[in-house]
Structure 1
């Protein structure tokens, strides 16, 4: 190969690299100014985790998370565009720029903090082991040989996996609704779920069919951004702080969970 050919190949390679960079997902830090310029904030949200995330009679996203997302957009003077996500795909949707933020009942964990940047907590969820009333399950040690359902890649999946002894049969489902149905139909003996999901199940079955067996964990939930978006993080934290102090988040929490917003660190 001649020097000219080598140089031409190198230039072509550089050109291809530039082209690929041009068409790659935007990697630069996004700011509130960028969002205001665009006129909307795109927010990923679970719609299968009532009362945090659900759908209304018009099949539109609803629930505590939806109201928080709308309040955030109102504070910034932009339109809220809510994109339904699932437990497994919510972080990938954020990292591939399909959404600007996640208000998706995302519990703060050390592993997730390696992937995303978390705001101050805006909500909390208590995760319990929920099973048949009268069954001999009083703690994690009693799960050996028990079929336990969880929503895949969820906080309850992590909590059950960590607590369960060897010999526990953990069955993973696509979402809480599927895990809920598995419990009701007898496919599993118990499920790891939030107290709000447990309350939903209790409404669908005869009284005293199931009960909270023990608490797995109480998790703070936060708004998530891509790493390195420090200006966006500052503004989201200011939103959370302001609306915690003025009681707006507590009003929404009471509206959907019929209890006060827990004290969050």
Structure 2
């Protein structure tokens, strides 16, 4: 009976791994342990350049942004060189599993599903779900999240984002229009075809700047906070442990918060608590 239980558990783990890597994906290659990273004097960091300001292309067509600055500082503190590898949201975990990168950044929110197939460092930053609205011109005054649960309120949302289930649970009476991308949502808000949207602040702070003639307003109340660490391959504990110490020092010195404000223009909505157990 015990052997049967172990085999069942193994099958479930394999199914979870296959789901994360994609249909038909191969088993993960062995990660480079810490001593190999140090002996090669090279840290390979996966960064998504289509997720500004976490990752973006600069004027020289090089990958830059918050994640790039963080990765450069990690490599500097480890006294090794940094190699930035371009990844996208769908392939960042497969790249890690295939040993094409040593670490992955890019707002990789900590979830149980991902934790089954990769290891996380302690949090690098947070993401905070908020209500974005306008200072005037809405169907009804919106001063608190509870005001959204009104038949007169018109919400607009990107399909599949974290705000959709929150709206279903907390603002079921509102009119909801689901669109395919953020620019279309912001146009609807700017043109008065919608009153508010619910999303993580980090996804809205940059698009807001493209509509400077609109008096945007983000409500003070944070609806939910999500923790974002750096991903390493499952079982690569030596590298993960060193990264945790490096991150602690980067938080303690203020480097993370300073870099965040450099790229986002505002402080982190939900600060990372200072924790010596990093």
Return the TM-score normalized by structure 1: 0.71
Residue 241 (str. 1) matches residue 248 (str. 2): yes
Within 2, Cα distance between the matches of 1:238 and 1:226? 18
Q: 2: CA distance between counterparts of 1:151 and 1:37?
A: 45
Q: CA deviation at 1:102?
A: 0.8
Which protein has the bigger strand share?
A: 1
- Confirm whether residue 82 of structure 1 aligns to residue 84 of structure 2: yes
Which residue is 1:198 aligned to? 204
The answer to whether the aligner puts 1:104 opposite 2:106 as a matched pair is yes
Aligned residue pair count: 233
Measure the CA separation in 2 of the matches of 1:96 and 1:132: 45
1:65 offset after TM fit, Å? 1.0
Give the whole-Å Cα distance in 1 for the aligned partners of 2:245 and 2:29: 24
Structure showing greater radius of gyration is 1
Equivalent residue in structure 2 for 1:184, among 174, 183, 186:
186
Aligned mates of 1:185, 1:139 — CA distance in 2: 22
Q: Which residues in structure 2 correspond to 1:14-29 (within 5 Å)?
A: 27-29=29-31
- Note the 1:7-18 alignment, pairs <5 A: none
Q: 1:48 aligns with which of 50, 59, 81?
A: 50
Contact 2:28 2:97 in 1 (8 A): no
Measured after TM superposition, the shift of residue 119 of structure 1 is: 0.5
What is the aligned-residue RMSD (CA, Å)?
A: 3.2
Out of 211, 222, 244, the residue aligned to residue 217 of structure 2 is: 211
Give the one of 17, 33, 37 matched to 1:35. Answer: 37
Larger displacement relative to structure 2 (206-215 or 193-202): 206-215
Who is 1:232 aligned against? 239
What is the distance in 2 between the residues matched to 1:206 and 1:160? 26
The answer on whether the counterparts of 1:102 and 1:224 sit within 8 Å (CA) in structure 2 is yes
| Residue 164 (structure 2) aligned to one of 160, 166, 181 | 160
Report what 1:18 is aligned to. none
Query: What SS does the corresponding residue of 2:30 show, helix, strand or coil?
Result: coil
C-alpha displacement of 1:149? 2.9
- 1:59–1:245 CA distance, 2 compared to 1 (3 A): same
